[in-house]
Structure 1
């Protein structure tokens, strides 16, 4: 088995992989939204994303004689990660379908804020003034993006924002799970078992929602699945070579791609309120990352 990300850190490689992952995720979100507008159901999109990923990864490993990479002694951990990941996918894809791309992407940047809250609640970690300030700043940015009292102005609804905030919460939990799996499993195994275990579950719902599509819509669904599979592999590999707190910074570049796609594909320019709220959320994430690094250095110096 391969060593985990903590054992062999390669921060520059991790940052580069996460940068590519951010582009892939933004592209996948664009394709999800396009396919959704053409009648593809949320359940359909998730099923094909997972089923095609499992088939492609499995076939690719078989063709190269590397099926041994799928051997695991942690099927229970993979099952838990699969359940959490599937739950998170419904919120991630749902946010893209319910919100404009740029807004959905911006709300996804609250993941570091949720990481702080999870550390406090589950691990009873003491949160100091720096990180509390970041939490307050981040949610202030969410309020600016949400624009309370504006109704459904610019396509932002209360339901969309609620779903959009659940997505990064799940991403945070999943990041902890993947980093733990990376200690003993290789990226191909993590990606394959997630897809293989979750696709049959979503498949049970497929007969209730599946509809006929034209060739262009099927092409979009296929492209979405392929790009999503690539993003999953990039994300998992990045977590092997770098800590989640640091490489999450590369996710902010997804806003540029989301804004680009929003304008050129969906003919919707990001509103001024987004450019006011997004810097607050991004600044909160940067402050948290800086503080986490300071605390890590303090622990090393104190011999913890």
Structure 2
């Protein structure tokens, strides 16, 4: 990227706009989870998103054809798995907790690079890893006397997302943004289709049945919220990718942590979900740890939610 094409101010605004969009649309998931199905949601939303991408390609913008289909599918498997857990958790956990768990991804990227890629990490990034995991514990506040494994699922989503981020660089060099985005939504659609046919039995009423239902009503209201999610996700991802095109990755990645603020703000406005002070302090630690990793790394990994641009 040449110096005359770097626009840090516009890059920051673009990233913030993308995160504000995702923070708002993710808060609409309770409208879906009360009556709908996680599997139905991912399947229908994927069809909508892929349809929009197909129209964009038909208009002459980009291509959906991967250079290495197996590599793109493998990378999409981990990214989509992370989002499957992420959206499933939104029906039973506060959105701030879920987002914070996903944003542990940069910490896992550091650990993966050490354990499996033989890379050396200095004291700053080791400190960031410790900070981040302490922050995660402060957010989920595990109680040994009443341990709920569900509280740890967002961190598992962060791990899967980290594997997908590493795979983006290692397996998918030269693939276009459109190809990776299509692979991501396509894999989510496959996961949704599998769930529709394999999840059986009675599901409880309300949000608790979101993951356990195979199918929910597909009326006008539900289709509207599916469309909001599909369009919102594409707009958010597009703004974030644009931000990475206009700014240095190490500087731009820091702004992704604004999703913690936007998601928590809209949860408070729309659902009256407050953030306890301990959890708020944990979010600050996670954001600080991720920022250190982004600024100290040669090839920073985005915090979460979207694949790495330009990979």
- Give the TM-score normalised by structure 1: 0.80
Query: CA-to-partner distance for each residue in 1:19-62, whole Å, 9 max, x for gaps?
Result: 232222212321223311x2211112211222211111102321
- List runs of 5+ in structure 1 lacking aligned partners: 296-304
CA distance in 2, matches of 1:235, 1:294: 17
Report 1:44-55 matches (<5 A).
44-55=40-51
1:291 equivalent to 2:285? Answer: no
Change (3 A) 1:171 1:19: farther
Say what the alpha-carbon RMSD is for the aligned residues. 3.1
The alpha-carbon deviation at position 175 of structure 1 amounts to 2.7
1:20 equivalent to 2:17? Answer: yes
Structure 1 equivalent of residue 63 of structure 2:
69
1:164 equivalent to 2:168? Answer: no
2:89 to 92, 95, 98: 95
The alpha-carbon deviation at position 228 of structure 1 amounts to 1.6
Q: Is the contact made by 1:179 and 1:240 (CA closer than 8 Å) also made in structure 2?
A: no
Change (3 A) 1:144 1:176: same
Report 1:1-304 matches (<5 A).
10=6, 12=8, 14-36=11-33, 38-62=34-58, 64-66=59-61, 69-149=63-143, 158-179=148-169, 183-207=173-197, 208=199, 209-238=214-243, 245-292=250-297
**SS of equivalent to 1:98:** coil
- Give the TM-score normalised by structure 2: 0.78
Query: CA-to-partner distance for each residue in 1:62-117, whole Å, 9 max, x for gaps?
Result: 1x144x62333222222112222221221221232231012222223222211211
Change (3 A) 1:104 1:9: farther
Structure 2 equivalent of residue 298 of structure 1:
none
Moved more, 272-281 or 243-252: 243-252
CA distance in 2, matches of 1:166, 1:144: 16
Change (3 A) 1:185 1:127: closer
The alpha-carbon deviation at position 17 of structure 1 amounts to 3.6
Moved more, 201-210 or 21-30: 201-210
CA distance in 1, matches of 2:151, 2:7: 33
The alpha-carbon deviation at position 15 of structure 1 amounts to 4.0
May I ask how many residue pairs the two structures share in their alignment? 283
CA distance in 1, matches of 2:142, 2:191: 37
Structure 2 equivalent of residue 299 of structure 1:
none
Change (3 A) 1:73 1:144: closer
**SS of equivalent to 2:63:** helix
Structure 2 equivalent of residue 301 of structure 1:
none
CA distance in 2, matches of 1:257, 1:189: 28
The alpha-carbon deviation at position 174 of structure 1 amounts to 2.5
CA distance in 2, matches of 1:236, 1:294: 15
